[in-house]
Amino acid sequence: MKLGLVTKTVLLSCLAMGSLTLSGFAPAPDAPRRIEVSVKKFAYSPADVTLKKGEPVVLVLSTEDVGHGLKFKELGLDAKFNKGKPGELAFTPDKAGDFVGHCSVFCGSGHGSMTLTLHVTE
């Protein structure tokens, strides 16, 4: 008797998980927005990105020359990437404001001035 109950519960949770997975195929309102950023000495393009609070996003970072990085200290994000090996920063901004990211891989004399600003709106 007891076993039957447990089996039922397991079955039910499997069903619940199954429907969760299925709903992932619906025209997902929360599929992350992908933003391509190209990087070279000593700039990000675009250098300004506007995001919406709560909207999942993936910054896809590719370099045209040497290895670079992008770090947002305040957001706890850091990616490093090399030519032919793009990096990704996947996150959902949870507060509005401006956040300045810096290159996190030393890449030459202009390295310190490389910034990308995220403008997160409500």
Kindly list the residues in this chain that would bind Cu ion in the complex (CB under 5 A): 103, 107, 111
- In the complex, what is the shortest distance from the CB of residue 51 to Cu ion, in angstroms, rounded to a whole number? 23
- In the complex, what is the shortest distance from the CB of residue 37 to Cu ion, in angstroms, rounded to a whole number? 14
Token pair 């370099």: residue: 63
| Residue placing its CB nearer to Cu ion in the complex, 107 or 116 | 107
Cα–Cα distance measured from residue 37 to residue 116, given in angstroms and rounded to the nearest whole number: 10
| Residue placing its CB nearer to Cu ion in the complex, 81 or 120 | 81
| Residue placing its CB nearer to Cu ion in the complex, 111 or 119 | 111
